[in-house]
Structure 1
Amino acid sequence: MKIRLLSLSFSFCFLNCFAQNIPLYIGTYTDGHSEGIYKLQFNLKTGELSRLQLAIATENPSFITYSPNKKYLYAVSESLGGSVSSFKIQENGLLKFLNKVSSNGTGPCHISLNKQGNKAVVSNYRGGSASIYSIARDGKLNEASQIFDYNTTDIISHAHSAQFFRDELYIADLGMNALYQYKLKNNNYELATPSIFKTTENLGPRHFALTKNGQFIYIINEHGSSVTSVKKTASGFKQIDYDSTLDENYQGKNSCADIHLSKNEHYLYGSNRGENSIVVFKRNKFDGTIEKIQTVPVHGDWPRNFTLDPSGKFLLVANQKSRNISVFSIDTSSGTLTFLHDVKAPTPVCLLF
């Protein structure tokens, strides 16, 4: 009887512990330390990362994203002959290659899908363009249906990220210092606003975060080491705030990278490459303005992409140059971060839950 009880207890513990673990996929640069997309197990209770394994070998998958049902994974190949690939997620968590299409520009650095999972948009950093794709029911990518080329005779475009929101599409162009707004008409996206904010400075808008209702947009500026806060109004867009991402005592060079809202949208997080930190802002949910409340070191070098886990209790940072992933706990009552631990990983640049 005791043996049976011990067996049942062990089985329950094993299943419970297993249920607490979810996969974390890692996009990388294949620079000799990495071979492609990797996978780790993440413990939702403790924040522990374990069981690093290669999910699939592929060239420079610097940005990766899921389909909404998490049956498929999509990755850019940030190279001169830019491409984007689709993969099927197998039962063991490893990836099976489905197909590859041209990104229609060199250096693709970002991909995102719409809520329905039937369209994707890819940003080409070196090519200065963005491409729209339809996605088949089997997860495969069709050739691009629309291509936006932002290069002009006197300014070099660097499209860096894009997101769908309902029937709209937003594309951040670091070279053009613009965040374009498109609207869907007759199954094509048409330019509605050349830029949702105005600037005479070389800020370099890189990534951005939208609130769930789409009313507020927070843009992190790579060159400006700052966040531009914009509110959507009945007549267009209005800039409501502009804040530095750096500690007031920091005097060195810096390039901002990524930005995310907390699950409850009370807090905003941004990454600084150079200062090597995560900045935390408290957000006023009524007027959308933000206030800096914390700057924490990332315990690594060159924090590119970071992400919040599905529970909203942990924040994980991909430190590209030091080749490690840092894990922070989030105090949900204050939004502040506390460093827990880190693990080594091959040139991580994108993290995906």
Structure 2
Amino acid sequence: MTRELLIGTYTERLPHVDGHAEGVLSARFDGTGLTEPVVAARVENPSWLAVAPDGTAVYAVSETEPDGRVVAFARSSDGALTELGSVSSGGPSPAHLVVHPSRPLLLAGTYGGGTVSVFALREDGSLGGRTAFVQHEGSGPEPARQDGPHVHQLSIDPVTGDAVVVDLGLGEVRWYALTDDGRLTLRPDATVVLGSAGPRHLAFDADGRHAVLVDELDSSVDVLRREGDRFVRVQSTTTRGDAASGDNTPAAVCISASGRTVLVSNRGDDTIAVFAFDRDASRLALVDVVEVGGRTPRDLVIAPEGDRVLAACQDSDEVAVFAFDDAARTLRPLGRTPVPTPVHLAFV
């Protein structure tokens, strides 16, 4: 089955990346490779995208300073994007946003500012008013990377509906109660403290009982288990193989629909770590480390059919495709498609 893939990129050179794309890109995926990507929307540094549940709207961060933007697009039946407007992200360098799965709300977080904003969404998908704004304060124990708050990811707890905020700078994952009209209230008793590990991205397991969290600063991955109305960390293990050496910063984490397999991308080692996940024991076991074949795998996504994995190789300008066998927990390379500075992959 052919599917549309939207690709977030960088469009300019920054301290951490030599961006040279032209905006949001679009390509077709046929199960083995991508068509040549085309520019779907010209946006400055659209490094993260979010798609409305029905596919009729797309949202992008514009990762800029001193203030970033959140940009809304209508998406037509043929995939064309039409800008509906933009608003301030509430701080510099927005890194992430998420559409609420069942309410007309969009959440956005800034890495440079350590802020979280909630926006109402109108019926046409355009951005309404800001319904909540939270400024994180403080710092973490690692002075070079945790000098202040750095919101890196937002998600919605599939059981409670809380907003979940991963702050790499503070070394914490925070849970906020989220009302129907988009107001946030911190639940301090639910905060998970990771400290100098530097939490980056979290993925919820379909069982609703577990989440897996990847930590950027110490190349670790954690199992979080729901106990009552909060999560506790029950395991932490490395994302690297025994022979790995040199600098490495994990980036993306995803869980197969069955919950059997967890995948983590390693930037530096330029590998995908493949873990077996035992739900009953709440344990991960590293079963393989697979060479990506490109440089700096910034994002990973499992295709909707569940049998392909795509990796966005930021610094080698390509998207790598793998055949994925969840039962055997194996990845087999199928090919790579040239794509300028790809950093986020979103199926529509």
Among 188, 196, 201, the alignment partner of 1:193 is 188
Confirm or deny that 1:123 pairs with 2:117.
no
Q: Distance in 2 between matches of 1:186 and 1:280?
A: 38
Q: Distance in 2 between matches of 1:21 and 1:218?
A: 30
Secondary structure of residue in 2 paired with 1:86: strand
The Cα shift of 1:90 comes to 2.2
Render the CA deviation track for 1:271-320: whole Å, top value 9, x for unaligned. Answer: 11101111011010213211111111111111111111100100000011
Go from structure 1 to structure 2 and tell me whether the alpha carbon gap of 1:117 and 1:85 turns closer, same or farther (over 3 Å shift): farther
Asked which structure has the greater CA Rg, the reply is: 1
Q: Distance in 1 between matches of 2:327 and 2:283?
A: 19
Q: Distance in 2 between matches of 1:183 and 1:286?
A: 28
Go from structure 1 to structure 2 and tell me whether the alpha carbon gap of 1:310 and 1:336 turns closer, same or farther (over 3 Å shift): same
The Cα shift of 1:152 comes to 2.8
Comparing 229-238 with 283-292, greater Cα deviation is found at 229-238
The Cα shift of 1:95 comes to 1.0
* Percent of paired sites with the same residue: 29
Confirm or deny that 1:161 pairs with 2:146.
no
Confirm or deny that 1:54 pairs with 2:48.
no
The Cα shift of 1:185 comes to 4.6
Residue 35 of structure 1 aligns to which amino acid in structure 2?
E
The number of aligned residues is 331
The Cα shift of 1:237 comes to 2.7
Unaligned runs of 5+ in 1: 1-19
The Cα shift of 1:29 comes to 0.2
Among 69, 89, 95, the alignment partner of 1:103 is 89
The Cα shift of 1:324 comes to 0.5
The Cα shift of 1:186 comes to 7.0
Among 317, 328, 333, the alignment partner of 2:322 is 328
Among 141, 163, 166, the alignment partner of 2:127 is 141
Q: Distance in 2 between matches of 1:70 and 1:186?
A: 22
What TM-score, normalized by structure 1, do the two folds share?
Answer: 0.90
Go from structure 1 to structure 2 and tell me whether the alpha carbon gap of 1:185 and 1:344 turns closer, same or farther (over 3 Å shift): closer
**Larger RCO: Structure 1 or Structure 2 (Cα < 8 Å, ≥ 6 residues apart)?**
2
Give the 5 Å matches for 1:1-353.
20-31=1-12, 33-44=20-31, 47-80=32-65, 81-152=67-138, 155-165=147-157, 166-185=160-179, 187=181, 188-193=183-188, 196-199=191-194, 201-234=195-228, 236-353=230-347
The Cα shift of 1:169 comes to 1.1
Equivalent residue number for residue 15 of structure 1:
none
Q: Distance in 2 between matches of 1:39 and 1:159?
A: 27
Render the CA deviation track for 1:159-212: whole Å, top value 9, x for unaligned. Answer: 10010124211100000000001123574221113664334x511100001122
Q: Distance in 1 between matches of 2:179 and 2:129?
A: 20
State the 4+ residue runs in structure 1 displaced beyond 6 angstroms: none
Unaligned runs of 5+ in 2: 13-18, 141-146
Contact 2:190 2:230 in 1 (8 A): no
The Cα shift of 1:214 comes to 2.6
